[in-house]
Amino acid sequence: MTIQPILATVIFLVSLALILTDKLNRTIAATGGAVLMVVVGLLFGFYTEEQAIGTLDANTLGLLLGMMILVALLEPTGFFQYLAVWVARTSKGRPVRLLVMLGAVTSVVSMFLDNVTTVVLIAPVTILICEILGLNPQPFLISEALLSDTAGVATLVGDPPNVLIASAANLSFLDFITHSLPIVVVVWLVALLLIRVLFRRELAIVPENSAAILEFNPDEVLKDRKTAVKVLVVIGVAVIAFLFEELLHIRPALIALAAAATGLILVQPDIKTTLNRIEWDVLLFFGALFIMVGGMEHAGVMRGLSSLITEGGSLPPMVLGLVLLWVVAISSAFIDNIPITIALIPVVLDLAAAGINPNPLWWALAFGAGFGGNGTIIGSTANVVIVSLSERTRHPITASTWNKRGLPVMLATCATASVLYILFFPWLSR
Amino acid sequence: MTVRRFMKTRVISIQQDMTIGNAAALMREHHIGTLPVVDAGQKLVGMLRLENLLALVMPDFVHLVDHFEFAHNFGSLEYTKPDTTTLAHSVKEFMEQPISVQVDSGVLRAAALLHLRDLRDLPVVDAENTLVGLVSHVDLGVALMSDWDLSELASDTSP
């Protein structure tokens, strides 16, 4: 074995370790790693600047940027809070109904928009609703994180790993609707049922003050109805356009950026304020990871990995898919699922080149990356946000709370997904 | 114009080893919002404000949402009371670093300090940091207006 693959792997693993141990912010660690990868690549002759630039997947970055701009336009209108308040009033303050409805609304929104933003904006209102009702907000907050993460797997734009997978595998929005959505619906229902059982004691409490909830006026929450309607119409048109992307021969990034541009023209916000809401750190993180993983690919690391898989056992394709699903799920519970996905995409592409049908593997990767994050307090950004918000209340969510409530949900969702994966394997292979 | 002329010299203060309950009782009895905290030698060591005590009953969401006007009724939260163990905590645990002025400080400077720190009252100390008085934002505001020429205006607006 030559030195290049070892050097490239070490750079990647050290950056990952720095992120994992909280020594460095993930974007800073990845940016440092990316630059180091290019410098070392130039010195040892396995990576050029042109190759590094070539790894930046414009389709992924454009789609993410477009969707982020739309969310940035919608955020200040109060639309997200409006949904939570409307749900609270409709539920009449009954705990189970409130949990199901809050979970459902958060899930539907995060199928199309960034689930971290959704959770960031809905969770504080959830705490308000629970406090007025005299309920412990924990079950509601935890279920919002778990259900929105689960639902995000359903669509191409629901979750960053899906965007990456779709771009690499040439999967369309419609492919996700026909392959991922049906499975996610079942998995989501299983997650909801399990949450209902795990929190049965907290949800049995009859709130003392449901009358206060009935007096809520959602219209007072929606600060800018006009803008909200404009942006929602634009998002709606974009989703319809996503469905026809194959027919129109365009990629989702163009649709998202076109929608963002239309939104900007219609709303004409203060552009600096709007751009401040964009998660530039996430985009930079993606770019840096593309460059780092590209370096490993050019150094021959991925080829080594995939030949290890093909030579190792010649596993039947279904078993290979299930192994991938669980390996990705378990690693996603502890590490960010974005670097895992970016690192595994070239491996799957190499396996495809070696003659293995990659289609079922793409779905295994998507399910593993999406459902695995539910397992721990740090498994997904939504979990981290929920936990840090809860720390400012009288009922902080601890790692042990999560292990009792989130981990079983992660295991149940992955198990359900595995069963459905086996049942629908022929369909997923198409 | 220095604060010496406008300050209240009969100041209600509290010792740092007293309890939060004692502080609340003093505020209620004297209808005041700021309690300077002093040591045995009357030196100013801290400040306890109404807000510090009200934080005990303030719901968590108040710090988390940017507005809650749509909630017209806080329900059972309206009747939140701190329990006896909370009220037994010492003043020392809850007090803030004192922000004070010297007796010979200018009135405008004191008013600017109140404005900057978003306070209602300022303890006044001497050169040895001994508490000698207290000025409220009303004391300072009225003091600043004391030499404004309002005579003409007054005759114009009188019926």
- Whether residues B60 and A220 touch (CB distance < 8 A) is answered with no
**Radius of gyration for the alpha carbons in chain B, expressed in angstroms and rounded:** 19
Q: Are A296 and A4 in contact (CB under 8 A)?
A: no
SS3 A244: coil
- Examine the pLDDT at B157 and tell me if it is beyond 60: no
- Nearest neighbour of A212 by CB, restricted to B60, B69, B75: B75
- Examine the pLDDT at A313 and tell me if it is beyond 70: no
Q: Are A161 and A115 in contact (CB under 8 A)?
A: no
Q: Are A337 and A369 in contact (CB under 8 A)?
A: yes
Residue A333 has which token pair? 């519970």
Q: Closest Cα to residue A280, out of A23, A20, A27, A80?
A: A27
Summarize pLDDT for B80-132 with one digit per residue, the tens.
Answer: 889 999 999 999 999 999 999 999 999 999 999 999 999 999 999 999 999 99
How far is the alpha carbon of A222 from chain B, nearest alpha carbon, in Å? 10
- Whether residues A216 and B72 touch (CB distance < 8 A) is answered with yes
- Examine the pLDDT at A260 and tell me if it is beyond 90: yes
- Examine the pLDDT at A114 and tell me if it is beyond 90: no
Q: Are A326 and A378 in contact (CB under 8 A)?
A: no
B74 touches chain A (CB under 8 A): yes
B149 touches chain A (CB under 8 A): no
Amino acid A380: pLDDT? 87
- Taking the C-alpha atoms of residue A261 and residue A319, their distance in angstroms, rounded to an integer, is 45
Residue of B58, B60, B62, B72 to mutate, testing the A interface (most A Cβ within 10 Å of its Cβ): B60
Q: In angstroms, how far is the first alpha carbon of chain A from the final one?
A: 37
Host domain of residue B79: 3-157
B58 touches chain A (CB under 8 A): no
How far is the alpha carbon of A89 from chain B, nearest alpha carbon, in Å? 11
Residue of A80, A132, A214, A221 to mutate, testing the B interface (most B Cβ within 10 Å of its Cβ): A132
- Nearest neighbour of B75 by CB, restricted to A125, A132, A217: A132
Amino acid B153: pLDDT? 67
How far is the alpha carbon of B154 from chain A, nearest alpha carbon, in Å? 43
- Examine the pLDDT at A300 and tell me if it is beyond 60: yes
Q: Are B123 and B47 in contact (CB under 8 A)?
A: yes
Q: In angstroms, how far is the first alpha carbon of chain B from the final one?
A: 34
Residues of A in Cβ contact (< 8 Å) with B77 = 131-132, 134
Q: Which residues contact A223 (CB under 8 A, 6 or more apart)?
A: A76, A77, A78
Summarize pLDDT for A236-258 with one digit per residue, the tens.
Answer: 999 999 999 888 888 899 999 99
Residues of A with CB under 8 A from a CB of B: 81, 85, 124-125, 127-128, 131-134, 208-209, 211-213, 215-218, 220-221, 389, 392-394
B81 touches chain A (CB under 8 A): no
Comparing A220 with B12, the larger pLDDT belongs to B12
Place of tokens 């749900």: A87
CA distance readout (Å), A317 to A184, A261, A426, B122: 22, 43, 11, 76
Mean pLDDT of A289-293: 92
Residues of B in Cβ contact (< 8 Å) with A85 = 70
B73 touches chain A (CB under 8 A): yes
How far is the alpha carbon of B83 from chain A, nearest alpha carbon, in Å? 14
- Taking the C-alpha atoms of residue A59 and residue A169, their distance in angstroms, rounded to an integer, is 12
* Chain A with chain B: Cβ pairs closer than 8 A: 63
Residue A428 has which token pair? 């997923």
Quote the percentage of chain A above a pLDDT of 70: 99
- Whether residues A134 and B75 touch (CB distance < 8 A) is answered with yes
- Examine the pLDDT at A1 and tell me if it is beyond 70: no
B74 — pLDDT class (breaks 50, 70, 90): confident
Amino acid B7: pLDDT? 95
Mean pLDDT of A378-405: 89
Q: Are B3 and B133 in contact (CB under 8 A)?
A: yes
- Taking the C-alpha atoms of residue A15 and residue A26, their distance in angstroms, rounded to an integer, is 8
Which residues are registered as beta bridge partners of B90?
B19
Quote the percentage of chain A above a pLDDT of 90: 65
How far is the alpha carbon of A210 from chain B, nearest alpha carbon, in Å? 8
Query: Rounded mean pLDDT of chain B?
Result: 91
Residue A165 has which token pair? 């997978």
- Whether residues A132 and B60 touch (CB distance < 8 A) is answered with no
Amino acid A310: pLDDT? 72
ipTM: 0.72
Which of A217-226, A277-286, A300-309 has the least mean pLDDT? A300-309
Quote the percentage of chain B above a pLDDT of 90: 73
Q: Are A232 and A267 in contact (CB under 8 A)?
A: no
- Whether residues A128 and B68 touch (CB distance < 8 A) is answered with yes
> How remote is the C-alpha of A316 from its chain's centroid?
29
- Taking the C-alpha atoms of residue A88 and residue A73, their distance in angstroms, rounded to an integer, is 24
Residues of A in Cβ contact (< 8 Å) with B68 = 128
- Whether residues B70 and A393 touch (CB distance < 8 A) is answered with no
pTM over 0.90: no
Task: Give, as one character, the DSSP assignment of residue A177.
Answer: I
B71 touches chain A (CB under 8 A): yes
Query: Rounded mean pLDDT of chain A?
Result: 91
Which of A32-46, A296-310, A319-333, B1-15 has the least mean pLDDT? A296-310
Q: Are A187 and A91 in contact (CB under 8 A)?
A: no
- Count the domains in chain B: 1
Amino acid A354: pLDDT? 81
Give the chain A residue whose CA is nearest to the CA of B69: A220
- Examine the pLDDT at A66 and tell me if it is beyond 60: yes
- Whether residues A128 and B64 touch (CB distance < 8 A) is answered with yes
Burial of A31 (0-12, 13-18, 19+ CB in 10 A): buried
CA distance readout (Å), A160 to A166, A244, A336: 10, 21, 11
- Nearest neighbour of A220 by CB, restricted to B65, B70, B77: B70
- Nearest neighbour of B70 by CB, restricted to A127, A133, A217: A217
Residue A5 has which token pair? 């693959």
Amino acid B103: pLDDT? 95
- Whether residues A128 and B71 touch (CB distance < 8 A) is answered with yes
CA distance readout (Å), A162 to A8, A152, A306, A364, B153: 26, 9, 21, 11, 72
Residues of B in Cβ contact (< 8 Å) with A393 = 60, 64
Q: Residue A170: which region, alpha, beta or left (left: phi > 0; alpha: psi -120 to 50)?
A: left
Which of A20-24, A384-388, B56-60 has the least mean pLDDT? A20-24
Task: Give, as one character, the DSSP assignment of residue B100.
Answer: -
Alpha helices in A134-224 (DSSP H): 138-152, 160-169, 173-175, 181-198, 200-203, 210-214
Give the helix/strand (H/E) hosting B38. Answer: strand B34-38
Sheet holding B101-102, edge to edge: B101-102, B121-125, B131-136
In this structure, what CATH number is given to the domain that contains residue B45? 3.10.580.10
